[in-house]
Structure 1
Amino acid sequence: MKKIIFVFVLIIVVACSNKKEMTQTAELSCGQCKFDLDSESGCSLAVRFDDKAYFVDGFNIDDFGDAHDEKIGFCNVIRKGEITGVVKDGRFLASSLKLDNAK
C-alpha cells in the first residue's frame, strides 16, 4: 500500500512540475539590437511579453528574412506575432511562431 501511495504522489509531483506550452501575442526582434539583452554575442532572435525579453530557441533570426533589412529586419524593427512554447532556464523554447503581416 505504501508503494502505491508513493507512486501516486510521485506521478502528481511530476505532472505538476511540467510546464505547459503557452501561446503569446508578443513582440519579436533582435535581442541585442532592440531588447538590450547582452548574454549572447551577435544578433539572435528574442521575444518580449509581460515586459520581459527572452532569447528564442527553435527559430533563427534569419528564418523570416534578412535580419538587417531596413523595413522588416529584426535588427531594425520590432515585429508582432504569435509564439507558442515554454520559458525554461531564462530562454523561450518555441514550437511555433507566426508573424503578423501588418508592418
Structure 2
Amino acid sequence: MKNLLVFCAFLAILSCNKAKGKTQIVEVSCGQCQFGLASQKGCDLAVRIDEQAFFVDGAHIDDFGDAHDENSGFCEVIRKAEISGKIVHDRFQVSSINLLD
C-alpha cells in the first residue's frame, strides 16, 4: 500500500511538470509587427520557435513594459527569452517567461 501511495505521488508530480512544458530559449516579440502574423488584429505577444511563430496565451505584450518603446518594446525589437509552456491548437500556452536581454 505504501508503494502504491509513493507511485501515485510520483505520477502527480510528473504530470504537473509535464503540463508546464519544456524550457527553451526562443525569440519573443509582437506577432504582427515583427513576425508577420496576420490572424488577429492589433499588437499581440508571440514567440518564434524553430522559425515558426505562435501567438502567446498566458502573458500580455505590455506585461514587459511599453510595447512601442523604440529600444526595448516588442513592436520595435525581437528579444530572447527563456520560456516554458506548450503549443496547443497553434498557440503557445506559456507557463513562464524570463527575458534574457
What TM-score comes out, normalization by structure 2 length? Answer: 0.80
The size of the alignment, in residue pairs, is: 85
| Unmatched tracts of structure 2, length 5 or more | 1-14
Residues in 2 aligned to 1:35 and 1:62: alpha-carbon distance in whole angstroms: 17
Q: How does 1:6-85 map to 2 (within 5 A)?
A: 21-85=21-85
Amino acid at match of 1:88: V
Structure (1 or 2) with the greater helix fraction = 2
User: What secondary structure does 2:95 align onto?
Assistant: strand
What percentage of aligned pairs have identical amino acids?
A: 58
2:64 maps to amino acid:
F
Counterpart of 1:94 in structure 2: which amino acid? V
Unaligned 5+ runs, structure 1: 1-14
